């Protein structure tokens, strides 16, 4: 199995039971080893009292992209720590794209950066996540 095939199979296994990302309206757009892209169109129910995208929604999109990237090798992996910097607000109707990429993987610990941008390519937020492999796999490999 190639790394890309493994990543696709791991993503399919995760997506099948990821009710939170689907509930929020996210779409899994791309996945490869150490990389994932998710998108979300900001709807009215994603907006806060300022009329902009709630920071928790932006964080959730980044965190989901991070999860698909760090599980792409079929090793069950979870978040250890995450941080986000909001650059500019997402607005109603914006199409947000979260691109996650691996920066480093040493043993069971990984470091990932996620850039969230709108449909014009304007950066909305930058996210950094540290992962920890916990043992187990998402699917059985023969």
Q: Which pLDDT tens digit goes with each residue over 24-63?
A: 999 999 999 999 999 999 999 999 999 999 999 999 999 9
- The 3-state secondary structure of the chain, one letter per residue: CCHHHHHHHHHHHHHHHCHHHHHHCCEEEEEECCEEEEEEECCHHHECCCCEECHHHHHHHHHHHHHHHHCCCCCCEEEEEEEEEECCCCECCCEEEEEEEEEEEECCEEEEEEEEECCCCCEEEEEEEEEEECCCCCCCCC
pLDDT bin (cut points 50, 70, 90) of residue 10 is very high
142 pLDDT higher than 90: no
**Architecture of the 3-133 domain:** Roll (3.10)
Q: Which pLDDT tens digit goes with each residue over 86-140?
A: 999 999 999 999 999 999 999 999 999 999 999 999 999 999 999 999 999 999 9
């Amino acid at each position: 199995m190639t790394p890309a095939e493994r990543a696709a199979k791991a993503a399919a296994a995760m997506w099948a039971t990821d009710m939170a990302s689907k509930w929020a309206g996210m779409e899994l757009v791309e996945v490869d080893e150490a990389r994932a892209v998710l998108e979300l169109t900001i709807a009215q129910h994603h907006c806060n009292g300022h009329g902009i995208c709630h920071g928790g929604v932006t964080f959730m999109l980044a965190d989901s992209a991070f999860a698909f990237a760090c599980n792409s090798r079929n090793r069950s992996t979870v978040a250890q720590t995450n941080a986000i910097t909001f650059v500019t607000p997402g607005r109603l109707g914006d199409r947000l794209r979260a691109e996650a990429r691996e920066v480093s993987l040493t043993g069971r610990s990984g470091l990932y950066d996620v850039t969230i941008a709108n449909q014009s390519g304007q950066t909305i937020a930058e996210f950094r996540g540290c992962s920890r492999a916990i043992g187990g796999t998402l699917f059985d490999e023969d």
